[in-house]
Structure 1
Amino acid sequence: MAIKVFLVIQNRLRGIMFVPLAYGAVAIMQDLYRFPSKYYLLVIVANLATAWLIVAFATRLINNNLLRRVVNWAAWTWITLRIVGLDSEIQQMLESARIGLGESTISVWQILQGLTLLALLFVGARFLTRTTTTRVNSNEEMSPSMRVLVVKATQVALYGAAFFIGMRAVGIDLTGLAVLSGAIGVGPGFGLQRVVSNLVSGVIILLDKSIKPCDVISLGDTFGWINSLGARYVSVMTRNGKEYLIPNEDLITGQVVNWSYSNDYVRLDIYFGTAYHDDPHNVRTLAIEAAKSVDRVLSSPRAPVCHIVGFGDSSVDYILRFWI
């Protein structure tokens, strides 16, 4: 973070040095001339340079590049109009331009205010969501599934509150959204059924805690551990580095093998064979000792065992079972 701030200051170093020089020149001009008209343009330049620095540093808090550029240009344009004294005329012109929404109308000025407020509210909601996520993930008393559920619920609550507050601030009647939601409700029957099913399945997975982050699962030909739980899919990381995005619905309706559901123990079976002239007792003893020599192999309560499982054409077949 400190390095990022240092780089931002370094990139804006010329502007930072220009601002005090500009205001110093304004102070000198004020001493030399009694009439402000003599140094009016210099005051505007100094104010614009200051506003440019403030906007440049403030927009660095926005991580999204597109949103940062939009906010940067919008703020810079409005501050420029305000400094040169054209903000009132532009505001009156935007208020006179109105758009009809059914029986009511809304001005372009209200739309711009609403978009600005929504942007600020969404930035605040994103900051609160990140703070909450950091604190929830650091809480070791909560289960991994409960952490994901709390984070997702916080995101929905904060972004939903930001949206409705922004709509109310603009003056849009939210009762009209009931008709819109009714129309959207027809969607699941035609094209959004799988999307809604995945969302509901994701909530069920989080509530019943059947699958948690870091669990080792196998679904069909996919075997790996849970990397993250999303709203629509589960990220499964395999041993060869591939990451599968499995829809939540498949985990609810399909047969899933969770190798670490109740505990983290896994039994391994190793088949091998020896010649007929080898002593079976010595073979079993050596195989068990070899398994116990590995640190990951459990010695109790599930101790390694070795049994004869068959007689081949040229070897005695054994199975070595142990838990890790």
Structure 2
Amino acid sequence: MERLGAWLAGHNLPGTAELSEAAIAAGLAAIAMILGWLAGRHIGTRITAAWAERINGNAATFHLRACAIVRWSSAAILLGLIAVSWPWMPLGALIVGLVQAFSVAMLAVAVLRGLNLPRWAAWTLAALAFVAVLSHAIGGFSVVEVTLDRVGIQIGQRRFSLLSALTIGVTILLLFAGVRLANKLLSHSIGSARGFDPTQKLLVQKLAGIAVVVLAFFIGVDLLEVDLTAFTVFSGAFGLAIGFGMQKTIGNLIAGILLLMDRSIKPGDVIVVGDSFGWVNKIGVRAVSVVTRDGKEHLIPNENLMTQEVENWSYTDRNVRVRIPVTVAYDCDLKRAQELMLRAAAESPRVLDNPKSNVWLMAFGQSGAEHEILVWISDPESGVGNVKSDVLNRLWVLFKEHGIFIPYPVRDVRVREWPTDGAPGSAPE
């Protein structure tokens, strides 16, 4: 008991007034958390519904975290007001600071995860925000700052420490999050504009994305106080090497911008490049995504579309003519057979009524009269082979019903003479 009394005498325990103040601080912090929860439940739900209705899910998962963002931001604001509204004693300031730091950290996680940042990046920034807010609440961040700045090395005229490394990392992560958020907002704003067609919207979105990245780079250079004049010679040589090494990449980037400006190839067009046939799904910075009827996605470099011959089936008109070869026997009624061909084409659901289908007699072949059924479709991205199959299936049934025959090769074999030792009917010796 004597040792306990001596230990208590040597330490300043909080008095009744400080404990009472701490209890009040804890109660106010609890009220702030409850109000934040109510705000997230009511206001956040409405924001989520309005966001999802207007954007239709095109803003990643950011709208799904609106409730959490409203909840933690409301709690953090209320706790900030509580912290500055009264000169709290150390224990009360610690309680308010802990709850406020927790709210700010959870708010950082909700925002950064809503921007699809990796978990490690979101939780790292949240931990830093927690430490910064708590340190400010209990007396400032100066002690931690001085401690981090003591550990470092001197390189030339510049000193690198843990504080500078932490500052660089936090700045890069914040700029990355800012770029993601700016790109999403710009993409939504441009996508909802009514004065542009889809190709122009895509072009403006890509140019805006490049401008945001360049702006973020210069902001980062200014915040980190990087002296670019010291890297003039090195950056020139490095830039020359990068230019030679990435000339294909830069060429594809410029080719993609030219394709969007020229509008010769647009998302949704049906194109043929070499052996690749499909519809354009996306025009990216490096390549164009072409989806085939087999579900395969071909990534064709933009430069290839600028230098190679490309068949665009929907450049000026989406109507495409499909040729279906058919051969009938010579002893059939050709006029009747041609009428049935037109009937089969007219009954196919994807064949257009205008332009009208037609049947041409192409040649008198070895086994029958060769025809071509010419039909028009307006949705080539849905495939061409299935149209041919549908017309031929209908034509097969019509030919069977009306006695029209499809010829098949017939070969006559003539034997001029039989060998004397192998005449027909002779028994082998």
TM interval, shorter chain, is 0.7 to 0.9
Deviation, 1:95, is 4.6
8 Å CA contact retained: 1:229, 1:235: yes
Q: Secondary structure, in 3 states, of the residue corresponding to 1:235? A: strand
Distance 1:100 1:255 in 2: 58
Distance 1:207 1:276 in 2: 55
8 Å CA contact retained: 2:100, 2:133: no
Partner of 2:406: none
The answer as to 2:267 corresponding to 1:213 is: yes
Deviation, 1:188, is 4.6
Partner of 2:109: 59
8 Å CA contact retained: 1:118, 1:166: yes
The answer as to 2:335 corresponding to 1:281 is: yes
Distance 2:231 2:218 in 1: 11
Partner of 2:373: 320
Distance 2:367 2:346 in 1: 28
Q: Secondary structure, in 3 states, of the residue corresponding to 2:344? A: helix
8 Å CA contact retained: 2:271, 2:312: yes
Aligned residue pair count? 301
Distance 1:164 1:298 in 2: 56
Partner of 1:240: 294
Distance 2:235 2:265 in 1: 32
8 Å CA contact retained: 2:101, 2:131: no
Moved more, 241-250 or 100-109: 100-109
Change (3 A) 1:251 1:153: same
The answer as to 2:321 corresponding to 1:267 is: yes
Deviation, 1:312, is 3.4
- Structure 2 letter corresponding to 1:322: V
Pairing of 1:37-48 with structure 2 (within 5 A): 40=91, 43-48=93-98
* CA RMSD between the two structures: 3.2
Moved more, 149-158 or 174-183: 174-183
Moved more, 216-225 or 311-320: 311-320
- Structure 2 letter corresponding to 1:60: A
Deviations 1:58-82 (A, max 9, x none): 3211121232122112212222333
Deviations 1:279-319 (A, max 9, x none): 1112222212322233432333x321101122334432210
Change (3 A) 1:193 1:4: closer
8 Å CA contact retained: 1:272, 1:319: yes
- Structure 2 letter corresponding to 1:312: G
Change (3 A) 1:178 1:146: farther
Gaps of 5+ in 2: 1-47, 50-62, 83-87, 378-429
8 Å CA contact retained: 1:111, 1:170: no
Distance 2:316 2:99 in 1: 63
Distance 2:147 2:226 in 1: 21
Partner of 1:129: 183
Distance 1:281 1:124 in 2: 71
Moved more, 76-85 or 93-102: 93-102
Match of 1:154 among 208, 230, 250: 208
Partner of 2:30: none
Pairing of 1:103-118 with structure 2 (within 5 A): 103=157, 109=163, 112-118=166-172
Distance 1:267 1:117 in 2: 57
Deviation, 1:51, is 1.5
8 Å CA contact retained: 1:188, 1:196: no
How does the TM-score come out when normalised to structure 2? Answer: 0.62
8 Å CA contact retained: 2:148, 2:162: yes
Deviation, 1:260, is 0.9
How does the TM-score come out when normalised to structure 1? Answer: 0.80
Distance 2:206 2:109 in 1: 26
Partner of 1:32: none
Moved more, 106-115 or 117-126: 106-115
Distance 2:188 2:216 in 1: 21
Q: Secondary structure, in 3 states, of the residue corresponding to 1:261? A: coil
Gaps of 5+ in 1: 24-34
Q: In percent, how many aligned pairs have the same letter?
A: 33
Partner of 1:230: 284
Distance 2:140 2:320 in 1: 73
Change (3 A) 1:66 1:211: farther
Change (3 A) 1:188 1:109: closer
Deviation, 1:46, is 4.5
Deviations 1:212-267 (A, max 9, x none): 11111111111111111111111111111111111112212222111111111111
**Whose Rg is larger?**
2
8 Å CA contact retained: 2:252, 2:286: yes
Deviations 1:149-182 (A, max 9, x none): 1111111111211221121122222344544542
Distance 1:215 1:204 in 2: 16
